[in-house]
Structures are given as structure tokens and as C-alpha cells.
Amino acid sequence: MPDQAPRGETPTRSPRASLRTSVVWEVLKEAIDRRAEATGSPVLDILDTGGGSGSFAVPLGRLGHRVTVVDPSPNALFALERRAAEAGVADRVRGVQGDVHGLFEVVEPGKYDAVLCHGVLEYVDDPAEGVRNAVDALRPGGALSLLAAGLGGAVVARALAGHFAEAHRALGDPAGRWGEGDPVPRRFTAEQLTELARSAGAEPGAVHGVRVFADLVPGALVDTQPGALDSLLALEAAAAELPAFHSVATQLHVLARKPG
């Protein structure tokens, strides 16, 4: 999601980026708009943990919000700085080196209207602590956006690739891993991700499946068939909210709220 259109419009993205982020972006933007309306302020303070080079932070900055990105990678933060400058939001988007476990060494608790925790929980030593810190960073009534790898999507992908033993292993593995060569340390079910939010003191709301079909459809079909991308995006959006498809999504998105 490298570029952001004017407020109320869908950001301009490459086809592949659209398939990866469109569902999450629409859900997140609606939540942030609701928060802005509830607070009476058009400018919110947003924290993006593990936000990397700013695929969400920069578009949020272009909507006028103040965004702090916490990421352990100096290279990612350098790319974020360059990206924010090119987008004209360097005054609204800043990067800080750190991680979700040591979050309050670099930011203050209770200061943010929304916290993004995308692609983080798969890799941290203690996902429960990471979510607790994300919730503690929120102001009362603030929004929490969790995005993590889904177990079912990995099982389906391995099976369709003919790696049946690996699919079986992932299905029964406590961390959802298909083998020693699996690059993802941990995967989640929708129930597990929702419980992490609830146990951290947040009120879970909408759950969406992300990339239900996108990773299974041949890229050549999407790139060459007229209208295929738009049709696939529409299908992804329709399936994302249906619980029946959460179990086969590549990623799972949980939107939660801190009481107050």
C-alpha cells in the first residue's frame, strides 16, 4: 500500500499489494475514522509496532494522523524515513528502533488512539506479552489491529503443493509449523488470536480472513485476464467476513477495542 489517495478513497497500490492489504486497510481505516469521530479530533496518535518501511504508516500519515513506527531493523527504519519524505509526511511519521517486548522503553503507555501489531506475533518469544503491551499503549476506547499468520492457510498451501506430510505435521503442531525449514515460527487460529486480545484486556470485535484465495490463484491468471484482479479483490472482501473461510486464510485479522 505505497500510496494513499485523498481521504475517503482507496489507496493506490500495486496489484500484488492490493491482494495482500486491501481487506485489512478497509477495516482499519473504518475503525480509525470511527475513533476520530468519537474523540472529535481529525488527527489521531497511532502506533505501528513492527511497522517496517511504513506500508500502513505512510498512508495513515497522508490521512493526517501522527504515526510512530517501532521496528527493530535499522534498514527498515531508514526505508521508512525515505518513504515518508517522498510522500510528504515526514513531519507526521517517525520511526523508533525497538520491539513490542521492550515497547515502553521507547514509547509511553496509554498515549495512542490506535495500535497496529501486524506480522509481529508470529516471531516474538511471547505473543501474549506482546499483545498486552499493545493494549497498554492504547488510550481508553482505542483500537487494536492484530494481523498474524493463519494455521489453516499454511496447511492448505502445503497440501495443494503436494507436500502432504508437511501439511499433516502443521495441522498437529502446537505452533502450526510444517517442518524445520518453515520460515514462520508460529501460526494462529482465529480463536487463538481473539483470545490473545481478550486476555490482554481488549474487547475483540470483527475477525477477517486475509488472502483466502489470493495465494492459491495462479499469478499469471490475475496478471493477464481482464478484470481478474478486481473480481478477485471483490471475492476476497466478501469471503473475509465469513467465519467459514477464516480457517483457510493465509492471515487472520482481529480488530479489538480497549474498554473505556
The percentage of the chain sitting over the pLDDT mark of 90, rounded to a whole number, equals 83
Radius of gyration for the chain, computed over Cα atoms and rounded to the nearest angstrom:
18
Q: What is the mean pLDDT of residues 15-28?
A: 79
Residue 21: the pLDDT is 83
Confidence of residue 197 (pLDDT cuts 50, 70, 90): very high
Q: What is the mean pLDDT of residues 239-250?
A: 94
Residue 17: the pLDDT is 61
Q: What is the mean pLDDT of residues 218-243?
A: 86
Q: What is the mean pLDDT of residues 221-242?
A: 87
3-state SS of 153-208 is HHHHHHHHCCCHHHHHHHHHCCCCCCCCCCCCCCCECHHHHHHHHHHCCCEEEEEE
| pLDDT over 50 (residue 4) | no
Position 210, amino acid: V
| Residue 77 to residue 66: CA distance in whole angstroms | 16
Task: Describe the crossing of helices 151-160 and 164-172 by its angle, rounded to 10 degrees.
Answer: 160
Residue 11: the pLDDT is 46
| pLDDT over 90 (residue 212) | yes
Residue 214: the pLDDT is 86
| pLDDT over 70 (residue 82) | yes
| pLDDT over 90 (residue 204) | yes
- Highest average pLDDT, of 17-21, 123-127, 210-214, comes from 123-127
Higher pLDDT, residue 137 or 23? 137
| Residue 152 to residue 40: CA distance in whole angstroms | 40
- CB neighbours of 191 closer than 8 A, spacing ≥ 6? none
- Cell numbers 495462479 correspond to what residue? 218
Residue 236: the pLDDT is 92
Q: What's this model's pTM, rounded to 2 decimal places?
A: 0.90
Confidence of residue 16 (pLDDT cuts 50, 70, 90): low
| pLDDT over 60 (residue 7) | no
Q: What are phi and psi of 146, to 5 degrees?
A: -105, 130
pLDDT tens, 93-128? Answer: 999 999 999 999 999 999 999 999 999 999 999 999
The percentage of the chain sitting over the pLDDT mark of 70, rounded to a whole number, equals 93
Residue-range domain boundaries for the chain: 15-150+188-257, 151-187
| Residue 51 to residue 96: CA distance in whole angstroms | 10
Fold of 15-150+188-257: Rossmann fold (3.40.50)
